[in-house]
Structure formats: structure tokens, C-alpha cells
Amino acid sequence: MFTNKNTYKPFVTVDCVVFGLDKSEEIRVLLIKRAYPPFKDSWALPGGFVIENETLEEAARRELHEETGVRDLFIEQLYTFGKLNRDPRGHVISVAYYALVNLDKHPPSASTDASEAKWYKLSEIPELAFDHLKILETATNRLNSKVRYQPVGFELLPEKFTLSELQNLYETILGKPLNRRNFRSKFLKMGILEQLERQKDVAHRPANLYKFNKEKYEELTSNGFEFAISVPKHKK
């Protein structure tokens, strides 16, 4: 076994990109305003140092809850960022995570080393501390890819939703219009949506409400089912 008492050990942090969908069906990202240097009063992604006897995911969930009050959410490891000059405090390696939440269920509340926590529109992101813009861009690209082959988009929707809301979600994430008939037919044929009651107290014609049947999806997946959403290519 290789041992060296003088082995250099860089610091390890976690950073979290949390996506939410607002009532105008626009993607938002949860940011915190740093209360301490470096980058005091700058906006950043929630995160912090990994402490002793803590896994990376435990650290990500802890920091997210401590700084924003958000907890109990889907979270997945994204990428590792380790450029030597990414943090003025020294050699700091960051393991980034991304999360998807129903924004209404997760109102942020700043705490610990965050003076403020706020949902920002993805189209209106302020200047970010460290290399957090790069982390955000990486997470956005991952989300764009992930929704095509896994049903993670349902994490952003309310428990009950219409097919129009589902399609608007995909069009927002993918940044492309989707054929209404093909999109609806595709999802209904999958068998992973459970039809519920119709909408009530709406000004327009009530639409059917649906919910994602996770148990059915897992059953189908165990039998070889593959979730896939095709995206039309731009015509030249």
C-alpha cells in the first residue's frame, strides 16, 4: 500500500443546482447571497465544505437545508469541478449535484452563511461567485438531456397536472416546440400516466388531470421498457 505522510490533500466541497418550475411555467434556479468572504454579498449556488464522516450526498443535502431550508428532494450527482484557480481560498475541488423540485412546495429561507435565498429565472441569472455559472450551465445541459430518457421532469410538476402543462414543461426545458398530437399520444401509450378527474373552477373548458404512476414505470422498466422522448431537428 502506498503511504506518504506528506501527501497533499485538497479541500472538498459540494455545490447544488436546484431547478424549479414557477406558475408561469418558466424554469427557475435556487441561489443564495453569500454572507461571508470570499465573494461576500455575491450570488452563488448553495453549497459548502464536506465535513468528517459525511458522504458527498449527505453533505449536499445538509448544506442545501442549512442555507436555504429546502429538503426532501430528488438529487443526483452531476460533475466534479477541480480547476486550480476556481476558489481564492486554495485548491478546492467541488462535487456538484443537481435537483428538481416543485417550486411551490419548497419556499426558500436563508440561514447559516447565506444572507438571502431566492428563486431566479433561468433567463435572468445574475453574476455568480466562483465558477458557479459553469456549474449551472453543465446542470442545464444535463437536465436538457436527462428529460429525454428518464421521467425526471415530473419532479417539477404538481402531483396533478394536465397534458398541456406536461408539454409546456418539456418545451421549456428543451427550448423547442413539440407536436401536440404526437407528444400526447407518446405519453398516453407509455402507460405511465394515471388519468384522474377533470379540472374544476377554470375559465376555459376543463381538461383531464393526470399523475405520474411511479410504480407502473418501475414495473415496466424491469420488463425492458425504455423511456424516450424524441426532439424534432431544426429544418435547414
Cell 437536465 appears where?
A: 143
Helix, strand or coil, per DSSP, at residue 80: strand
The residues annotated as belonging to the active site are 116
Q: H or E element: which one contains 6? A: none
Query: Cα-atom radius of gyration of the chain, to the nearest Å?
Result: 20
SS3 label, residue 117: strand
Count of beta carbons in the 10 Å neighbourhood of residue 21: 24
Go through 43-79 and write b for each residue having 16 or more CB atoms within 10 A of its CB, e for each that does not: bbbbbbebeeeeeeeebbbbbbbbbbebeebebeebe
Q: How many CB atoms lie within 10 A of CB 39?
A: 17
Cα–Cα–Cα angle for 133, 148, 158, rounded to 5 degrees: 80
